[in-house]
Amino acid sequence: MISANLSAVFYLVSGILFILALRGLSSPDTSRQGNYFGIAGMIIAIVVTFLSIGNFSTTLIYVIIFLIIGGTIGAFIAFKIPMTAMPELVAGFHSLVGLAAVFVAIAAFLNPEAFNLGATGDIKLASLIEMSIGAAVGAITFSGSIIAFLKLRGIMSGSPITFGGQHFLNLFLGIAIFVLIFFLCKSQSANIFWTVIIISFLVGVLLIIPIGGADMPVVISMLNSYSGWAAAGIGFTLENTALIITGALVGSSGAILSYIMCKAMNRSFASVILGGFGADNSSEDTKEKKDQKPVKSGNAEDAAFLMKNASSVIIVPGYGMAVAQAQHALREMVDKLKKNDIKVTYAIHPVAGRMPGHMNVLLAEANVPYDEVFELEDINNDFANSDVAFVIGANDVTNPVAKTDPKSPIFGMPVLDVEKCKSVLFVKRSLSPGYAGIDNELFYKDNTLMLFADAKKMTEDIVKNLD
């Protein structure tokens, strides 16, 4: 058994290792090393916890058995999961952190002696507040992440679910949680504690159901943030520095990502949370206009011809590429183009896909070197000097209406200037609008060629035609 002071020092060390793990992610070169720091931090935290309790009875064997059960499941998932399923995996993992926080809080409430928090029915006031906040945030994270998971997995429709008075209900429930925690502190009543958790589960569901599919990058980042705050709340209860540091790191990390995602969509955080965006609001007259406007559509042969004669091509991937799993075919196409001395780069919009960095991971999986992949602000000026923009499964992030029409719901959103390219190839299944529910005027431009097909099939056909 080691002293409380010594174990506190070790917890600090593991907190610092976690900071270094995040620091490593500043470049792909240092990132792998960073991940090892993270693993080391985790091992230290777990070993120190065993040593500080010093209870090496049969219970310990059970603890290790359960640890191995969880670890095996986790490792199995990590190796089996396809890269296209990363968004739902991350959402699923968030839900587990949330639920673990709830369960630790419950255990602490039922058996405060084990945690040095006072006696049952007489828990220290500060600890009671901390554990109920931790439990509430954890419960919101859990049920919110489950809904996000179901939406990303396609089990639940990605379209927003709204009903009258929804925001008032959320506000009311939010206030109710605080009022109940206040009474919990006065009465130490277990029933109130359970009620707080149940209401929080409900709030999590209500918070996420009105948010549409295209806003998922914000939702995932936000839930990431919540899972951090839940961990920090529990960290205060357990007076554990490692947990407090980690919770704060993860909390601010998720908050920054949410901010970046909102900025990339030119939307305020509040409007994303209030939801309803991406509902079917395409009015009658836009539908009529669509029928009248001529569209140039082509086939794989035309596309191959255009690209063969280009000297530079920029590829703009979007969620459609992920759905069609077209990244490997795309890479094959690019290899063929490179053999013909055509310069190929990739342009990635921050909100392309369903989570931050989603496209980068898929391209990396297809062995695309990361120094050929550029972010919006680094590549946007290159479109004017390029011959072909190959838009595969992206839509709203290329819509020039964001720059021209102040009435458009996406006005002001930073977009990729693909229309400045000499010609634009659009791989899309139909003319249907994207998640924002608005028409893309790019489809009707003279220099746009629409390739109506599944992204993977079309890319494979182009590859054949490039020979």
Partner 1 sequence: MEIDPFIFRFSIFILSIFIGYYVVWSVTPSLHTPLMSVTNAISSVIIVGAIVAALAGSAENVFETSSIFGFIAIVLAAINIFGGFLVTQRMLQMYKKKKDKKK
Site for partner 1 in 19-48 (CB under 8 A): 19, 21-23, 25-28, 31-32, 34-35, 38-39, 41-42, 45-46
At residue 190, the 3 state secondary structure works out as helix
Angle made by CA atoms 10, 16, 20, in degrees to the nearest 5:
140
| Contact with partner 1 (CB under 8 A) among 4, 6, 62, 183 | 62
Residues in binding contact with partner 1, number by CB under 8 A: 115
Cα separation, 241 vs 232, in Å, equals 9
Residue 222 binds to partner 1 (criterion: CB under 8 A): no
Determine the 3-state secondary structure of 285 from DSSP.
helix
424 near partner 1, rule: CB under 8 A = no
Residue 341 near partner 1 by CB under 8 A: no
Which residue from 4, 9, 119, 126 is in contact with partner 1, where contact means CB under 8 A?
Answer: 126
Residue 251 CB burial class (10 angstroms; 0-12, 13-18, ≥19): buried
> By C-beta, is 111 or 311 nearer to partner 1?
111
Q: By C-beta, is 262 or 450 nearer to partner 1? A: 262
Q: Catalytic residue at 454?
A: no
For position 342 contacting partner 1 by CB under 8 A, the verdict is no
* Contact indicator for 290, 431 with CB cutoff of 8 Å: yes
Q: Which stretch binds partner 1 (CB under 8 A): 208-216, 232-240, 419-427, 459-467?
A: 232-240
322 part of the interface to partner 1, by CB under 8 A: no
Applying CB under 8 A, does 194 fall inside the site for partner 1?
no
User: Which residue, 47 or 384, has its beta carbon nearer to partner 1?
Assistant: 47
Q: How far is residue 336 from each of residues 12, 266, 332, 340, 344, measured CA to CA in Å? A: 52, 37, 6, 7, 11
- Non-local (6+) Cβ contacts of 49 within 8 A are 7
Q: Are 327 and 363 within 8 A, CB to CB?
A: yes
Nearest in space to 443 (alpha carbons), one of 456, 429, 455, 454: 429
Nearer CB in complex with partner 1: 193/443: 193
Q: Are 294 and 359 a contacting pair, CB within 8 Å?
A: no
From the number of C-beta atoms within 10 Å of its C-beta (0-12, 13-18, 19+), residue 364 rates as: middle
Catalytic residue among 285, 335, 371, 396: 396
245 binds partner 1 (CB under 8 A): yes
CB nearer to partner 1: pick between 206 and 334: 334
97 forms part of the interface with partner 1 (CB under 8 A): yes
* Residue 427 beta carbon to partner 1: minimum distance, rounded to whole angstroms: 23
Shortest CB 328 distance to partner 1, Å:
12
Task: Point out the residues that are catalytic.
Answer: 396
